[in-house]
Structure 1
Amino acid sequence: MILGRGAFGTVYKGVLQNGHQVAVKRANSSSSHEMFDKELELLGRANHSCLVNLMGYCQEDKLLVFEFMARGTLLENISSCEWISRMRIAAQAARGLEYLHRYASPSIIHRDVKTANILLDRDWNAHVSDFGLACVDLKAARGYLDPEYGLSSKITAKSDVYSFGVVLLELLSGQKPVDSSRKFQSLVAWVLNLVERREWSSVLVPSLPAPLQPEPLYRAVKLALECSKFASKQRPFMTLVAKRLEEIVEAMAGAPLLSISS
């Protein structure tokens, strides 16, 4: 019944008396009640279709009850996704982050955007998770961390945009955020090198059927690189990112795929 373990607790699959499935996070014994209360307060302020929403809690035992995501993490499922599904997942995750940045009051910076923190329901819809950890001093995982953080030691909404740009590049390329076997270990640098050489098709996952009209995917590559620019001021806000991704999904919806055998 264990769905996952993290630095702040273990997540279990649970079943309510009415048969409804849920995910139950039990905070580690080392977690203080003060930290639990802060996370509970933050989670209680956010509710959106593209988030993993809080359903209930038990303050005494430090339990948080969330919506159950049947397919697990994007990290676990990324190799199973076709092109249209990849871009739709990216667009939905972008809307979830947009909500945290723009509509939550006060706004919430996720701080740890990565494929392991984007969950998928039974219908392959994306839901951003673990944004409640924004109340603790948490920084993005290796490969996702905003390079400006090293200069300012300050996490901003644009730091989430950078991390999301890396996620989008993962969806487009099938590559890891950091890979020591590549000439350019950073995924951002690896993609940028290919784009500068105008080798756009080499960025895309080679095992997937190539679109007859690849321009929407090339636009997604360009968008991902805009998100992952070194200077945060040059990165777009999540509202614009989500809008562009939805336009890309719409453009792809009527575009047939080129069979590998043809």
Structure 2
Amino acid sequence: MKMKLLFLLLVVFHEPIWVFAISDPLVSTPPLSPNSPIPSSMAALPPGIHMGNEEHRMNSNKKTLTALVGAGTALVAVILCFLWLWIHYRKFPSKSKKSFKNSDAENGVALAPFLSKFNSIKMVGMKGPVPIIEYKQIEQSTNNFRESNILGEGGFGCVYKARLEDKLDVAVKKLYCESQYAEREFENEVELLSKIQHPNVISLLGCSINGDTKFIIYELMQNGCLETQLHGPSRGSALTWHARMKIALDTARGLEYLHEHCRPQVIHRDLKSSNILLDANFNAKLSDFGLAVADGSQDKNNMKLSGTLGYLAPEYLLDGKLTDKSDVYAFGVVLLELLLGRRPVEKLAPAQCQSIVTWAMPQLTDRTKLPNIVDPVIKNTMDPKHLYQVAAVAVLCVQPEPSYRPLITDVLHSLIPLVPVELGGTLRVSQVTERVHPTD
């Protein structure tokens, strides 16, 4: 490339010099007499008597020279322009690619990293950017939907563990879409998750259709959901204080992505501990986007009430007003679950229930009472100052008035200093250990 450009530049600059070299200066001669005869053969006459013709030739050469110089200059400018573009492209290739990737992310291209996993999987088509997997494979991979393969149950069906032909373990949600609401949730979740890619949001791998029964295939989360870890047989014993703060931080990061970085903004509308899934390393990811609202142009007020009792914000429950602060309220309830080890709603009598917010609020703001209501599994394992900070964040998130609740970005920044560096925060664990377990 460089040799070609050098050759072109030499040719362009050499041409005018070559023209000057062949244009010999005319010798000054006396002017011709008007009566002097002009022979028909100019070659037979001495150069001095061809003054008029030589002047014409000189003018012609000058015009040719000017044209050549102009053309050469233009050509040099064009070549230099192309040379600059070539050098700039070679020097900054990642910048152009980065802007293209950012544009793709905003437009919803999210499945590319996962499509390569389906090289040996039979697909029967595409639903937008989402692969549609053959139903028979789903049936076989779940052992004909055997009960022992069930990972969890939802409003419209069950979630099964499955192993596809390429030994890829996945989770398969089976939905009975006999009603328009179930069909709408299926369409909504597939459409949204096909546009979202974030470390703290579950990854959609594909879907399958068999009549009124629809299937959504996700990445498998080995440690199940947060609800089972906290309120199941283990009663939270696998979740240390730092692990719980890590889960809270991951959840906040997922919500911040939905609220602040998705265009249009996405409101989850059904955030709860059963929709927070944990992988093998207890990294948390948001799941179940069937009720999520992503169209900023639609009227979110007076929407059909949907969600789970105990997590619904008061303004949404009573007036149907939905905003991103509704998700912040639900996050506050999850934070209380992590802190206290209690369910969001507990039965006091057959016809009487009490929410965790109503029960805990008077004690959360009292430093003498707060240590006594903390989950016994993590009691006395954290710096008391950190305990008070988390309680304060939870109290702000579950305020009855939406305007008093913080943005999820503010919550995120409040949690980062409480999570160890190796878990994604900025806390140095050695300092905390010295405070919690002082040396004798």
Matched, 1:172 2:339: yes
User: Does structure 1 retain, via aligned residues, the 8 Å contact 2:156–2:176?
Assistant: yes
Aligned twin of 1:7: 155
Q: How big is the shift at 1:22?
A: 0.6
State how far apart, in whole Å, the 2-side matches of 1:115 and 1:4 are: 13
Q: 1:140 to 1:36 in 2, by over 3 A?
A: closer
Where does structure 2 lack aligned partners over 5 or more consecutive residues?
1-148, 231-235, 294-302, 420-425
The one of 180, 183, 186 equivalent to 2:355 is 186
**Aligned-partner residue type, residue 378 of structure 2:** L
**Aligned-partner residue type, residue 280 of structure 2:** R
Aligned twin of 1:253: 429
State how far apart, in whole Å, the 1-side matches of 2:344 and 2:242 are: 21
CA RMSD of aligned residues (A): 2.5
Matched, 1:229 2:399: yes
Aligned twin of 2:389: 219
User: Does structure 1 retain, via aligned residues, the 8 Å contact 2:272–2:331?
Assistant: yes
Q: Describe the SS at the equivalent of 2:227.
A: helix
Greater helix proportion: 2
Q: How big is the shift at 1:51?
A: 1.0
Q: 1:93 to 1:238 in 2, by over 3 A?
A: same
Q: How big is the shift at 1:186?
A: 2.3
Q: Describe the SS at the equivalent of 1:14.
A: strand
Matched, 1:85 2:243: yes
Aligned twin of 2:322: 155
Aligned twin of 1:240: 410
Q: How big is the shift at 1:123?
A: 0.8
Q: How big is the shift at 1:167?
A: 0.5
Aligned twin of 2:219: 67
Deviates more, 1:107-116 or 1:24-33: 24-33
Aligned twin of 1:26: 174
Higher Cα Rg, which structure? 2
User: Does structure 2 retain, via aligned residues, the 8 Å contact 1:209–1:258?
Assistant: no
Q: How big is the shift at 1:185?
A: 2.5
Q: How big is the shift at 1:212?
A: 5.9
- Relative to the length of structure 1, the TM-score reads 0.89
User: Does structure 2 retain, via aligned residues, the 8 Å contact 1:117–1:130?
Assistant: yes
State how far apart, in whole Å, the 2-side matches of 1:155 and 1:239 are: 18
Q: How big is the shift at 1:240?
A: 1.4
Q: Describe the SS at the equivalent of 1:23.
A: strand
**Aligned-partner residue type, residue 384 of structure 2:** P
Q: How big is the shift at 1:258?
A: 4.7
Deviations 1:38-80 (A, max 9, x none): 3321221111110111111225552211110011010111212
Q: How big is the shift at 1:204?
A: 1.7
User: Does structure 2 retain, via aligned residues, the 8 Å contact 1:184–1:190?
Assistant: no
Q: 1:38 to 1:72 in 2, by over 3 A?
A: same
Q: 1:123 to 1:91 in 2, by over 3 A?
A: same
Q: How big is the shift at 1:25?
A: 1.4
Q: How big is the shift at 1:206?
A: 2.5
State how far apart, in whole Å, the 2-side matches of 1:13 and 1:2 are: 6
Deviations 1:140-183 (A, max 9, x none): 31211101124421222111110110100110111221224499
Structure with the bigger RCO (C-alpha within 8 Å, sep 6+) is 1
Q: 1:3 to 1:207 in 2, by over 3 A?
A: closer
Q: 1:252 to 1:86 in 2, by over 3 A?
A: farther
Deviations 1:178-232 (A, max 9, x none): 2244999221222221134432212322232413621112101100110000011
Aligned twin of 2:257: 99
User: Does structure 1 retain, via aligned residues, the 8 Å contact 2:332–2:395?
Assistant: yes
Q: How big is the shift at 1:138?
A: 5.7
